[in-house]
Amino acid sequence: MRTEDQVRDEAKIILGFDDGEANVLQGTGQITTFNQLGFSGNSNKPDGWYLPNDKGEVAIILETKSEKEDLYKKKWETEIQKNIAIVRPKYSKVVGILYNGSDIRVFKNQTEVTGIASTLQNKSYYKRLYSEEKIDKQQIYRLTKQINDTLHTEFGIKNLYHRMIFTACALVAKRYGAILDKNMSFQVMKASILDTLSLHLKEDQRINAKLELLTEVYSEIKMNNPDNPKAISDFIRWISAISECVNSDYWNGEDVMGIFFNEFNRYKKKSESGQVFTPDHITSFIYRLIDVNKDDRVLDAACGSGAFLVKAMCNMIKEAGGVHAQEAIQIKREQLFGIEWDREIYALACANMLIHKDGKTNLEHADSRTKEASEWIKSKGITKVLMNPPFETKYGCLKIVKNVLDSVPQGTKCAFILPDKKLEKNMVDKKYGNKLLKNHTLTTIVKFPENLFFGQGVTTSVFVFIAGHPQNGRDIIGYYIAEDGLETVKNQGRQDIKNRWQEKEDYWIRAIQNGEDEQFHTRQIIHPNEHLSYQMPEKPFEIYEEDFIKTMMDYELFQRGIDAKEFGEGLLQRVMYSSTISAKDDKLTITLKENTL
């Protein structure tokens, strides 16, 4: 067990309280009082302090304990709270840290902070706790729409994916320090972006030579009208504004990139290779559905533009303590894996990951149906799979699913978004539906709202498998999420404009994990030898008196040789134009004239 002195010495180094920063009073010890630090009349002694000369900056107060001490004892919380209170009259932004060498508690002023790094970080990490700002999603929608329209109409880039790749590469270049001046020509701007990409990809290309595809595809993009100074100036200004959001500490994987890709994809919902892009709220739901955590190694073997990987990156980094936590680097570099066969989409996925400064070396340009892809997957130690493979048989949908399940370690949880009846259609010829169950267990089917993939004409479910364990007749549990609360916004697709989804997501995750759907009563047991899809209940047969009378009248007219349609039209004409209609006491009376029928 480390003593308090040992813990304090360790904390000094990790926090960087010994780095000689200018215009700051910082250090650790046991004999320095707050009075000596400039807080008159107070003899309390902090274990560590970071006190900038600029009182508008963040101050940090450290309290250390020996490793055997429980930080959750009330007396230790009271102590750190008291020391924070001493500093607050001079500093409006104070971070208090309780640390015993293994556990840590952090306070912003008097409020404990949750969802941050579970290990002690450098002081810069704690200073950033006061710098987070909300990202304006609507601004990103507006900027992305303006960029898309300008690239299409002003620059004349007709290919949708080329517009997406050009924009993504500009964002990558901006993040890596490319000089993009509003007064430069188009050729200079394009060359600056390419030079920055090439420079920063050199090291990663030694690991993954296929990253060269990104610069190849970018170089192939042609403009019909590049000489447009105003359009260039606007493009650079908009890129700079989006780049600030991408680099925000508040980034959560959807706020920027989800909006960015959603705007472009609304012009082309499905690619030539069958991809259907996954809505952001569904990537979040499936991440939680199969219990992905910060220690997992996540695979998407049909990764498209990288939506699942970006969402996994975001959530895993949050769990690790945020983008500035030490574990964030490892998560980006070593725990996210993707395969994409379409050349341009692969380039787009590379750009997407590059924007977030990593993950790029673990993207493979390959056909996920092949033995080569299988060997690549086997070498990665995958622990969770999140996928939305191309739905059509001609693109090998179920071949991809089978190859992935056969290639990941036994016991791996795998979630695939598929058309509702995709597995069931193959039950008759035994081609894939039943073959999958010989070696893998389908545990859960969650049917999604009918309009989830707006405009696609397909209804989908997520199918959760456990790889390497045969079904052996085990029942499947099914659920149906009929509504997700999203609404269609003109020119912006389906959005959660009324913030309904989070509550729904929380409900369904809890219901599925507990096996209880008390609110909607959609839970059902599915026997795999009968069905491999969620079974929608049949509407009960009901007959009303009016239906009975109509049927009897139709039969009577038939018996008399009278055409029911002609008779009905004639009757309507006489009632409307050859009758007397009167109303009294809310009673309507229709009197037909003689010989009107």
Distance CA 482, CA 488 (A): 16
pTM of the entire predicted model:
0.72
Given a contact cutoff of 8 angstroms between Cβ atoms, the answer to whether 487 and 498 are in contact is yes
Given a contact cutoff of 8 angstroms between Cβ atoms, the answer to whether 572 and 590 are in contact is no
At residue 563, the pLDDT reads 84
Question: 4-130 domain in CATH 3.90.1570?
Answer: yes
Q: Residue written as tokens 């134009």? A: 577
Q: What is the mean pLDDT of residues 237-256?
A: 70
At residue 581, the pLDDT reads 73
Q: State yes or no: pLDDT of 428 exceeds 50.
A: no
Query: What DSSP string runs through 93-126?
Result: -EEEEEE-SS-EEEEETTEE--SS-SS---HHHH
At residue 72, the pLDDT reads 93
Distance CA 204, CA 216 (A): 15
Name every residue whose Cβ is closer than 8 Å to that of residue 7 and which is 6 or more positions away in sequence. Answer: 64, 65, 66, 67, 99, 100, 101
Q: Where are the domains of the chain?
A: 4-130, 134-268, 275-481+520-531, 545-592
Query: What DSSP string runs through 195-214?
Result: HHHHHHHHHHHHH-GGGHHH
Distance CA 414, CA 286 (A): 10
Helices (H) and strands (E) in the chain, counts: 19, 19
- Tell me, rounded to whole angstroms, the distance of Cα 344 from its chain centroid: 22
Residue 494: its H or E element: strand 493-495
At residue 227, the pLDDT reads 78
CA atoms within 13 A on the CB side of 450: 1
Burial 89-102 (b: 16+ CB within 10 A, else e): eebebbbbbbbbbe
Q: Count of residues for the chain?
A: 597
Q: State yes or no: pLDDT of 505 exceeds 70.
A: yes
At residue 492, the pLDDT reads 66
Distance CA 470, CA 5 (A): 55
- Tell me, rounded to whole angstroms, the distance of Cα 54 from its chain centroid: 39
What does the pLDDT look like over 471-486, one tens digit per residue?
Answer: 999 999 999 999 999 8
Given a contact cutoff of 8 angstroms between Cβ atoms, the answer to whether 303 and 339 are in contact is yes
CATH architecture of 275-481+520-531: 3-Layer(aba) Sandwich (3.40)
The residue ranking higher by pLDDT, 584 or 153, is 153
